[in-house]
Amino acid sequence: MSDRMKIFLLLLPAMSIIVVLFFGGLLIGLMRSFNYMPVIGLTEPDLSAYASVFTDREFYYSFLLTFHIAFTSTVISSILAIGAALLLRRNFIGRGVVNFLFQLNLTVPHLVGAIGILYLFSQSGSFARLAAEFGMIQRPSDFPALVFDPYAIGIILQYVWKEIPFIGVIVLANMQSIGEDYESVARSLGASKWQTFRHVLLPLIFPGVLSASVMVFAFTFGAYEIPAILGANFPAALPVLAYRKYTDVDLAARPEAMAMAIVIALLSALMIYFYVRYSRRRIRG
Amino acid sequence: MGKEPLGIRSFRVLTGAVLITWLILPLVPLAIWSFAKGWFYPDILPRNWSMRAWEYAMSDTAGVLDSLWLTIWISLVATILSILVGVPAGRALGMYKFRGKEIVELMILAPTIVPGIAVVLGIHSIFISMGLTNSVEGVILVHLIPTLPYMVLVMAGVFANYDPAFEAQARSLGASPLKTFWYITLPAIRPGIIVGGLFAFLVSWSQYILTLLIGGGRVETLPLLLFNFATSGRNDITGAIGMIYILPGIIILLLTAKHLSGRSGAVGGFGQI
């Protein structure tokens, strides 16, 4: 058997599944978003779903909120993850515990973290109770709204909790394979600790940080169950809004749901572009 | 490096302690709730403790155990299918250079980054006409979207460090292709299959929206049950189910801790858990 034939047969089952399910699902969603579905007699594609989505204020609120959630969570997690990785590079009492908890968090589903954040930060949650104990608040409603709130603080807290370990392990491994020689050289040439970090280590780990952050951004932009647990009713995160539209009793809302799904897909396509760009550069370097 | 000043060392221990607290914090109220009998504001800790939530979760009538077995079954089948299909694809990507390889890699990478909600709505409208909605089979099929690419990428990494010379030797000594695979290839890639399979299991285990839409609420896996109890305010039972739900992850972690460094390609999949 020729190599070409062998490669083709080895890839065939996996590629068939991915093409049919993933790309098929995307394509059907795209077609339905254009009201185009010849099988059920819709033969005239139109833009009415996009027109009603893009003229709906709720969509813009949702989009901005979701972008804010994804962007803020990604930036905060990345910065704290770099800090955590710098910490874990060194020996200190408790390093083993932090390492273990990092790995433990990787295996805990987001949903569990979301419920935990709810029990911690809601107005009758653990922190509100502590505040009451110390006489800082009189009644639960005095406690600042950190979940179901318009700024999505609870959602962001959950993502930060879950993504620091994710980005952290990747950055830490990155730092360990780079080693400390470059930094030693910079230090011996008189660079300060900050200069060494800023001009030597950071540029070296940046591609790794970026490719991990891109995955986090795409995930946090498209996740459903976390904003469904911790988010406000209005505006809802885009995936929650899309799900609501899709399961609406009014079937006419379905193409709008599909249009929102396509918006999410387009944004993640952009993320894939960045991911590939930076992970390639990392491989070459 | 010389001895560091005390200030820096204690700063490190302090931030380490903050980090440890933060990492463990969200799991604490869940664990406490599962043993609480009513835990009302403003009590810092429950006044009465009870095993009621655990008894409920473990009873035959509550459906938590049924849901647990169902979730294990779905994740197990999705994992086995991913291994069967993912190992050959990983071999092609890890061991060969061919035209169009970059496109194939991109197509496999895409499902690991594009969120489930973006594809599952389209799949749902097709699955309806195929009778696959509200069924366990349909749910297993959509779980392949996140688990399979993950398995392929892990196996591609395994095969990239694999030396096919042993296979050629076995074949030249007269072993059949099947025998060669069983005695030469499989033992060499087995650790990769086990680690990749365990993590693929966790990826399927953590799926929510794919199961909700394709299962139509009829296929009630553990995360769906957990979500329902959490949003209906049964915090004690939510706590107990939450503890049960994170158990496989902890077990898998204890089995595979040394593979969980960021250097292994396996970690990429954790973006989806």
Residue B40 in any domain: the answer is no
Contacts of A170 in chain B (CB under 8 A): 262, 267
- φ, ψ for residue A56 (rounded to 5)? -95, 120
pLDDT band at B267; cut points 50, 70, 90: low
pLDDT (tens digit per residue) in B117-144: 999 999 999 999 899 999 999 999 999 9
Residue B31 in any domain: the answer is no
Could you tell me the maximum CA-CA distance found in chain A, to the nearest angstrom?
79
Residue A191 has pLDDT above 80, yes or no: yes
Residue B17 in any domain: the answer is no
d(CA B247, CA B203) in angstroms, rounded, equals 14
**Interface test mutation site (partner B, options A16, A119, A216, max chain B beta carbons within 10 A):** A119
Query: What was the pLDDT predicted at A281?
Result: 56
User: Within an 8 Å CB–CB cutoff, is residue B88 touching chain A?
Assistant: yes
- Beta-carbon separation of B261 and A173 below 8 A: yes
Query: With DSSP H G I counted as helix, E B as strand and the rest as coil, what are the percentages for chain B, rounded to 5?
Result: 75, 0, 25
Residue B164 in any domain: the answer is yes
pLDDT band at A43; cut points 50, 70, 90: confident
Query: What was the pLDDT predicted at B269?
Result: 64
The minimum CA-CA distance between B61 and chain A, rounded to whole Å, is: 24
Instruction: Please name which of B266, B215, B273, B272 lies closest in space to residue B246, comparing C-alpha atoms.
Output: B273
Contact present, A222 and A214 (Cβ < 8 Å): no
pLDDT band at A136; cut points 50, 70, 90: very high
pLDDT band at A182; cut points 50, 70, 90: very high
- Residues contacting A129, CB < 8 A, separation 6+: B41, B42, B43, B44
Contact present, A104 and B26 (Cβ < 8 Å): no
Nearest to A10 among B88, B107, B202 (CB): B88
Please give the residue of chain A at the shortest CA–CA distance from B263. Answer: A173
- Beta-carbon separation of A109 and B261 below 8 A: no
pLDDT (tens digit per residue) in A229-270: 999 999 999 999 999 999 999 888 999 999 999 999 999 999
Nearest to B26 among A161, A169, A276 (CB): A161
Residue A99 has pLDDT above 80, yes or no: yes
pLDDT band at B265; cut points 50, 70, 90: low
Q: Count CB atoms within 10 A of the CB of residue A132.
A: 20
Instruction: Please name which of B60, B149, B161, B143 lies closest in space to residue B113, comparing C-alpha atoms.
Output: B149
Residue B77 has pLDDT above 90, yes or no: yes
Contacts of B145 in chain A (CB under 8 A): 18, 21-22, 25
Instruction: Please name which of A19, A25, A166, A254 lies closest in space to residue B206, comparing C-alpha atoms.
Output: A166
d(CA B43, CA A60) in angstroms, rounded, equals 41
Mean pLDDT of B69-96: 97
| ipTM computed for the complex | 0.93
pTM comes to: 0.93
Structure-block tokens of residue B59: 């009873």
pLDDT band at A1; cut points 50, 70, 90: confident
Partners of residue A37 on adjacent β-strands: A42
Contacts of B250 in chain A (CB under 8 A): 104, 107
Q: Count CB atoms within 10 A of the CB of residue A270.
A: 12
d(CA A211, CA A167) in angstroms, rounded, equals 9
Q: Which domain holds residue B73?
A: 67-262
Residue B252 has pLDDT above 70, yes or no: yes
- Beta-carbon separation of A115 and B205 below 8 A: no
Nearest to A239 among B117, B246, B250 (CB): B117
CATH number at residue B149: 1.10.3720.10
Contact present, A239 and B117 (Cβ < 8 Å): yes
Residue B15 in any domain: the answer is no
d(CA B97, CA A74) in angstroms, rounded, equals 35
Q: Where are the alpha helices (DSSP H) in chain A?
A: 3-17, 24-33, 48-54, 57-89, 95-107, 110-121, 126-133, 153-178, 181-188, 193-196, 202-222, 225-230, 238-246, 254-284
Residue B140 to residues A104, B21, B70, B205: CA-CA distances in angstroms?
Answer: 26, 37, 11, 11
pLDDT (tens digit per residue) in A32-42: 999 998 877 88
Residue with tokens 């694809």: B89
Residue B78 to residues A106, B89, B125: CA-CA distances in angstroms?
Answer: 20, 16, 22
Contact present, B134 and B218 (Cβ < 8 Å): yes
Residue B200 in any domain: the answer is yes
User: Within an 8 Å CB–CB cutoff, is residue B265 touching chain A?
Assistant: no
Count of domains for chain B: 1
Please give the residue of chain B at the shortest CA–CA distance from A260. Answer: B118
Mean pLDDT of B147-162: 93
Torsional sign, CA A124, B239, B209, A67: positive
- A283 exposed, middle or buried (CB, 10 Å; 0-12, 13-18, 19+)? exposed
Residue B273 in any domain: the answer is no
**Interface test mutation site (partner A, options B34, B41, B87, max chain A beta carbons within 10 A):** B41
- A234 exposed, middle or buried (CB, 10 Å; 0-12, 13-18, 19+)? exposed
Q: Which long-range contacts (CB under 8 A, 24 or more apart) does A254-259 make?
A: A254/A32, A254/B121, A254/B125, A255/A32, A255/A33, A255/A34, A255/A35, A255/A48, A255/A49, A256/A49, A256/A52, A256/A53, A257/B121, A258/A29, A258/A30, A258/A32, A258/A33, A258/A49, A258/B121, A258/B122, A259/A33, A259/A49, A259/A50, A259/A53
Contact present, B171 and B177 (Cβ < 8 Å): yes
- Beta-carbon separation of B109 and A272 below 8 A: yes
pLDDT (tens digit per residue) in B174-192: 999 999 999 999 999 999 9
Structure-block tokens of residue A283: 């491989």
Mean pLDDT of chain B: 92
pLDDT (tens digit per residue) in B193-233: 998 999 999 999 999 999 999 999 899 999 999 999 999 98
Residue with tokens 């390639």: A280
Residue B185 in any domain: the answer is yes
